[in-house]
């Protein structure tokens, strides 16, 4: 009797194993970005701007893009953090990056026009932008959102993207294949109580991406969103202070989707919103 049970247990384990393998296979067919294997030539000589490159996911994306052969333009608020990413890229043998210290809260179209001119004269084109920088703002009941805070979050998370894309479209047009990636969130697809301004800014980000993707659908430019999902960063810790962070993916573990969207392999992908951690 116990032997029979032992056999059926191992059969069960085998069946579960098969199910897992099939699930992995199915995931890689449904989500090719998850199966994408980056290497040192994946982004060879591409010129890519990363916002919020000093910390969290942006920091890792900058390092990974450089490992994949890109020249990375590091934009962010805290200069010391950008310098540390710069040093790490150079120490790893990556192409020399550039640093653009800029607080998105106070930046104007003039700053972004200056950035566009500098990129055009330094590199002759821009092949990619990762719009990654964001702030969470306060999580609170909608009626308690302060007007000034609403404006600040919208300025950093949304308006800066509008101004930057407006200024950088001409230099993106100089690329043979340009990829613009916006960062969204699950609360940018389905509203959630207390996530107030942050959620609204992410819905609007998805809208901006879709509008651009449709407008430029017959061009050499593509526009997509990426949803990193729960990832071990300061922002996540601020939103979920009681959470065990060891249960979360690290930024390094979600990079395949980032490189996939920047690489030429995703040339035909436009107007999509991809999940790094689909449920
Ligand atoms: P993070 O650790 O807080 O990093 C945010 C980055 O944005 C930092 O480099 C920060 O620079 C920069 N930044 C913030 N305000 C800025 C400003 N005014 N001017 C210039 N740069 C500014 O956040 P993260 O978790 O890596 O998030 C990255 C992106 O993923 C965000 O768009 C976020 O909404 C999205 N996301 C994250 C998660 C998650 O679980 N982590 C989930 C869904 C979506 P300083 O460090 O210099 O302030």
**In the prediction, which pLDDT does 19 show?**
65
Q: Could you tell which of 133, 156, 234, 255 is best to mutate to test the pocket of ligand 1, judged by most ligand atoms within 8 Å of the CB?
A: 133
Atom of ligand 1 nearest to the CA of 82: 47
Residue 233: CB within 6 Å of ligand 1?
Answer: yes
Cα–Cα distances in angstroms (integers) from residue 186 to residues 5, 23, 192, 202, 277, in the given order: 44, 22, 9, 9, 11
Residue 144: CB within 6 Å of ligand 1?
Answer: no
**In the prediction, which pLDDT does 21 show?**
61
Gap between the Cα atoms of 239 and 16, Å rounded:
35
**In the prediction, which pLDDT does 2 show?**
46
**In the prediction, which pLDDT does 1 show?**
42
Gap between the Cα atoms of 164 and 116, Å rounded:
9
**In the prediction, which pLDDT does 155 show?**
98
Residue 137: CB within 6 Å of ligand 1?
Answer: no
Walk along the chain (279 residues) and give the pLDDT tens digit of each residue: 444 455 677 777 766 666 666 666 667 678 899 999 989 999 999 999 999 999 999 999 999 999 999 999 999 999 999 999 999 999 999 999 999 999 999 999 999 999 999 999 999 999 999 999 999 999 999 999 999 999 999 999 999 999 999 999 999 999 999 999 999 999 999 999 999 999 999 999 999 999 999 999 999 999 999 999 999 999 999 999 999 999 999 999 999 999 999 999 999 999 999 999 998
Radius of gyration (C-alpha) of the chain in whole angstroms: 21
**In the prediction, which pLDDT does 279 show?**
87
Q: Whose CA is nearest to atom 12 of ligand 1?
A: 52
The pTM of this model reads 0.92
């Amino acid at each position: 009797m116990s032997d029979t049970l032992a056999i059926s247990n191992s059969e069960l384990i085998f069946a579960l194993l098969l199910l897992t393998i099939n699930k992995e296979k199915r995931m890689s067919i449904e989500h090719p970005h998850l199966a994408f294997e980056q290497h040192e030539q994946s982004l060879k000589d591409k010129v890519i701007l990363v916002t919020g490159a000093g910390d969290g996911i942006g920091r890792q994306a900058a390092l990974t893009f450089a490992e994949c052969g890109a020249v990375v333009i590091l934009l962010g608020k805290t200069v010391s953090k950008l310098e540390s990413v710069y040093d790490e890229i150079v120490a790893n043998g990556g192409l020399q990056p550039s640093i653009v210290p800029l607080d998105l809260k106070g930046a104007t179209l003039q700053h972004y026009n200056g950035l566009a001119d500098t990129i055009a004269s330094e590199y002759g084109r821009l092949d990619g932008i990762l719009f990654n920088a964001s702030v969470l703002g306060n999580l609170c009941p909608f009626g308690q959102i302060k007007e000034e805070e609403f404006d600040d979050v919208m300025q950093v998370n949304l308006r800066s993207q509008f101004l930057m894309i407006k200024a950088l479209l001409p230099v993106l047009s100089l690329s043979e294949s340009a990829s613009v990636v916006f960062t969204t969130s699950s609360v940018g697809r389905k509203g959630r109580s207390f996530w107030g301004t942050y959620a609204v800014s992410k819905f609007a980000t998805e809208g901006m991406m879709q509008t651009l993707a449709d407008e430029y659908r017959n061009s050499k430019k593509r526009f997509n969103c990426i949803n990193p999902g729960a990832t071990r960063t300061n922002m996540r810790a601020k939103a979920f202070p009681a959470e065990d962070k060891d249960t979360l993916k690290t930024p390094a573990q979600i990079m395949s989707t980032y490189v996939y969207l920047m690489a030429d392999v995703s040339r035909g992908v436009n107007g999509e919103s991809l999940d790094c951690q689909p449920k």
